[in-house]
Amino acid sequence: MESGKPIGVFDSGVGGLSILRALRRELPQEEFVYFSDAGHAPYGERDDAFVAERSRAIALRLIDEHRIKALVVACNTATAAAVHLLRAEHAHLPSIGVEPALKPAAGMTRTARVAVFATRGTLASAKFRALHDSVRGQADFVLQPCDGLAAAIENDNQEEVRRLCRLYARAAGEFGSAPGQIDTLVLGCTHYPFAIPVLAEVVGPGVGIVETGEPVARQARRLLEVNGLLNRAGRGQVTLLTSGPQQALRQAAQRWLGGSLG
């Protein structure tokens, strides 16, 4: 496989741009193909069979049409439902998934209370249950489904984003640094980092907010190095694909990635 080939990245919509942003910082010379499955979003409120079917179809398209050298499943719900299938079906292809950062959060919290904001699909998955079981006893994890938040972010509906952030923060419990309060918030959906300014205001100072972009980017670099696939002469170009409106994806990319897309 050639090192100059692009890395494929996909999500149910624009949330995966938060992962792509971290990947571009870590790997500025790599070329990327980003696929937003906005025409079939949101994944978080779909069943596993549907998400797995879409994930497999998108992976095949990226492999067949764009000859990708690695795949990043930039969606917690798709990772939980399908990354094991993609790895089995495309064993030659380095594949990286994302998962809520429960382990880092367990090491960060001082009050031993952590909130996890995620979609229902992620929280109900066997993969998440196994992850949760692996840190059981290290902290009290408050699992908060956030229906509609990913869609509000996707549509850049700031009023709805603010309303939902307040709603789910209240539902999770009291945030703060005092004993018994929640002092760490895990963002278990790749859309949610784009709401960090609102979430930080809602939960207040002293609450740590943990996302997954940087760890995923570091893992991508490691796998590329191990497989001799690092691109050291690329121009950092990004190709944007979507099953939804192309203009909406391009506007989101310009808004959240900043600068040139190559």
Domains of the chain by start residue, with CATH: 7-98+213-257 (3.40.50.1860), 102-210 (3.40.50.1860)
> What 8-state DSSP symbol labels residue 228?
T
Of the residues 81, 153, 182, 189, which is catalytic? 189
Q: Taking residues 118-129, report their average pLDDT.
A: 90
Higher-confidence position of 175 and 13 = 175
Cis peptide preceding 42, ω within 30 of 0: yes
Q: Taking residues 217-222, report their average pLDDT.
A: 95
Report the pLDDT value the prediction gives residue 43, as an integer from 0 to 100: 84
Of the residues 22, 75, 116, 195, which is catalytic? 75
pTM over 0.85: yes
**Distant-in-sequence, close-in-space partners of 47: CB < 8 Å, separation ≥ 6:** 121
**220-249 pLDDT, tens per residue?**
999 999 999 999 888 899 999 999 999 999
Both tokens of 88, joined, read 């089995």
Strand 32-36 and strand 7-11: the pairing is: parallel
Whether 75 is catalytic: yes
C-alpha torsion 12→16→20→21, nearest 10:
150
Report the pLDDT value the prediction gives residue 261, as an integer from 0 to 100: 64
Cα 256 to Cα 250: distance, rounded to the nearest angstrom: 10
Cα 71 to Cα 82: distance, rounded to the nearest angstrom: 12
Q: Is the pLDDT of residue 42 over 90?
A: no
Report the pLDDT value the prediction gives residue 172, as an integer from 0 to 100: 98
**Distant-in-sequence, close-in-space partners of 179: CB < 8 Å, separation ≥ 6:** 111
Q: Give the DSSP per-residue string, 160-213.
A: HHHHHHHHHHHHH--BSSSTTSB-EEEE-STTGGGGHHHHHHHH-TT-EEE-SH
Cα 97 to Cα 219: distance, rounded to the nearest angstrom: 10
Average pLDDT for the chain: 93
> What 8-state DSSP symbol labels residue 253?
H
Whether 189 is catalytic: yes
**183-203 pLDDT, tens per residue?**
999 999 999 999 999 999 999
Q: Is the pLDDT of residue 260 over 60?
A: no
